[in-house]
Amino acid sequence: MTQRQRIAIAPSQLQQSQILLTPQQLHYLGRVLRLRDGDRFIAMDGLGKWWLAQLTGEQAQILETLSVETELPVTITLMVALPKGNGFDEVVRCCTELGVTCIVPVISDRTLLNPSLQKLERWRRIAAEAAEQSERAFVPTILEPVAFNTALLSTASPQKYICEGRGNYPHFSNCLPNKEQITNDQGLIIATGPEGGWTEKEIENAIAANFQPVSLGRRILRAVTAPIVALSLVTAACEV
Ligand code: SAM
């Protein structure tokens, strides 16, 4: 696919084969990207659709639907215990680039942060920007923060893993199916802990909810690094 400028649009902006552009989008296309009438760009709805569009005044004409093949063959839900400060921004950005489907910010026994509504909006904005820059077809869903024990109970997938740096657990990469075996039954769920780690009780509860404890290697990773490493291992298993 030719490299073109891309913008995210809301599905409600589509009217048959026209895109009704917002003043902000017009400013971005005209002033920032310096596109003129007749120039082409890519519009993406974050729900799997991309179109080649042509700027015509305050609207854009859809020329064709584009096929995008940047998504992983399996849906991945990450349950990430909220790290300190702005660490979660980095988790959202990097994991979106790596192909995550859904991120659940979880409040665990040792989580120090209780995030505001503005934080959630910020994470959703970061996910949209990262999806756009990494040419994803979908913008990952960022759910509202939830208590870890509640999150454990709302998981249907048979493939569930909890990352734990201590203990003699199998390496995550040895638990993953390879490219030929991978199926998207109900996807894959991965949980990673906060700076202080999971409590014993949390690990017990996760095992009772059919989570398999796994290792990400011999070194203790930061709470921000662990989900990125876990996701990288999944992408390697699916794509290499
Ligand atoms: N304070 C904890 C300790 O000393 O064991 C370390 C917690 S670590 C900074 C944060 C989280 O990252 C952990 O709860 C775990 O989910 C994940 N993690 C870090 N290193 C890991 C490893 N080598 N294997 C599996 N998970 C790891």
**Phi, psi torsion values for 82, nearest 5 degrees:** -60, 125
The pLDDT assigned to 185 comes to 66
Q: What is the mean pLDDT of residues 20-26?
A: 95
The pLDDT assigned to 3 comes to 72
Domain assignment present for 187: yes
My answer on whether 60 and 97 are in the same domain is: no
My answer on whether 62 and 128 are in the same domain is: no
Contact 66/41 with Cβ under 8 angstroms?
Answer: no
Domain assignment present for 182: yes
The pLDDT assigned to 2 comes to 58
What percentage of the chain exceeds 70 in pLDDT? 97
Q: What is the DSSP letter of 197?
A: -
Domain assignment present for 71: no
Q: What is the mean pLDDT of residues 133-138?
A: 90
My answer on whether 57 and 96 are in the same domain is: no
Most ligand 1 atoms within 8 A of CB, residue of 108, 113, 163, 211 to mutate: 163
Per-residue tokens: 63: 């020329």
Q: Residue 95 maps to which CATH number?
A: 3.40.1280.10
My answer on whether 14 and 96 are in the same domain is: no
* pLDDT over 80 at 225, yes or no: yes
Domain assignment present for 166: yes
- 225 Cα to the center of ligand 1, angstroms: 9
* pLDDT over 90 at 84, yes or no: no
Domain assignment present for 1: no
Higher pLDDT among residues 125 and 154, named by residue: 125
* pLDDT over 90 at 1, yes or no: no
My answer on whether 143 and 235 are in the same domain is: yes
Contact 40/47 with Cβ under 8 angstroms?
Answer: no
My answer on whether 147 and 220 are in the same domain is: yes
> For ligand 1, is residue 145 a contact (CB within 6 Å)?
no
Dihedral angle at the C-alpha atoms of 216, 153, 119, 6, nearest 10 degrees? 70
User: In 3D, which of 113, 142, 115 has the Cα closest to residue 127?
Assistant: 142
My answer on whether 228 and 133 are in the same domain is: yes
Higher pLDDT among residues 157 and 61, named by residue: 61
My answer on whether 23 and 43 are in the same domain is: yes
Contacts of 209 (CB under 8 A, 6+ apart): 152, 153, 155, 160
Q: Residue 34 maps to which CATH number?
A: 2.40.240.20
My answer on whether 110 and 196 are in the same domain is: yes
Higher pLDDT among residues 85 and 147, named by residue: 147
My answer on whether 122 and 146 are in the same domain is: yes
Q: What is the DSSP letter of 216?
A: -
- 235 Cα to the center of ligand 1, angstroms: 20
Tens-place pLDDT, residues 179-222: 777 766 668 999 999 999 999 999 999 999 999 999 999 999 99
Most ligand 1 atoms within 8 A of CB, residue of 168, 174, 220, 233 to mutate: 220
Determine which residue's CA is closest to atom 10 belonging to ligand 1: 223
Contact 191/106 with Cβ under 8 angstroms?
Answer: yes
The pLDDT assigned to 157 comes to 82
Q: Which of 66, 88, 106 is the last residue of a domain?
A: 66
Most ligand 1 atoms within 8 A of CB, residue of 221, 225, 231 to mutate: 221
Domain assignment present for 162: yes
How far is residue 54's CA from residue 19's CA, in Å, rounded to a whole number?
10
Residue range of the domain that includes 135 = 76-239
The pLDDT assigned to 48 comes to 84
- 17 Cα to the center of ligand 1, angstroms: 50
My answer on whether 36 and 80 are in the same domain is: no
What's the domain count of the chain?
2
My answer on whether 18 and 114 are in the same domain is: no
